Amino acid sequence: MIGSISPGSVGMFRATKGAADAQSKRIIEVWVYLLEVTETLSKWSEKGKRTTRWVTCEAAAHFLREPVLTRLCHRLAQI
């Protein structure tokens, strides 16, 4: 996707980054930025691993497993 990224983060959360063996797991910090999409691409580096789907903020909150992202989507739906 191509677009404009928000100048500041709209949220942050920590997550466990999985690995094949339990000792290799790490805690990572993820900072969330909004992207105003101006163009979608037909090819991207993770196309075989990920899919994209346009949904409302409320629908996205339903699918997300990270509580911080769920709250963020609910908050964005109010804007």
- Overall average pLDDT of the 43-56 stretch: 87
3-state secondary structure of 48: coil
The two tokens of residue 11 are 């949220």
pLDDT value of position 22: 67
pTM: 0.70
Under 8 Å between Cβ of 60 and 73 = yes
pLDDT value of position 24: 76
Lowest pLDDT segment from 14-28, 31-45, 49-63: 14-28
| pLDDT at 29 > cutoff 90 | yes
3-state secondary structure of 45: coil
CA distance 19 to 41: 30
- Overall average pLDDT of the 9-27 stretch: 81
